[in-house]
Amino acid sequence: MNKRSANTAENPIAIDITGLSAMLSCGRATARKIADEAGATIKINRRVLFNVEKVRAYINNMSM
């Protein structure tokens, strides 16, 4: 397999589970649970990414 280079964007559209758990300041299991509840999961073949805008909207709606 080829190793991916770490390209970082300033405002990413989608992030992996490591980025999501860092963004939410929680563990991987909790981050995945939040993403599932927000409907933010994107599956591309074996890779799983999460829509940042959907997660942010979900968290903002929870806090109101």
User: Is a pLDDT exceeding 80 seen at residue 52?
Assistant: yes
Mean pLDDT, the chain, rounded, equals: 93
> What average pLDDT does range 36-51 have in this prediction?
97
pLDDT score of 50:
98
3-state secondary structure the chain: CCCCCCCCCCCCCEECHHHHHHHHCCCHHHHHHHHHHHCCEEEECCEEEEEHHHHHHHHHHHCC
4-19 pLDDT, tens digit each: 766 777 889 999 999 9
Give the start-to-end residue ranges of the domains of the chain. Answer: 14-62
Provide the pLDDT confidence category of residue 1 given band limits of 50, 70 and 90: low
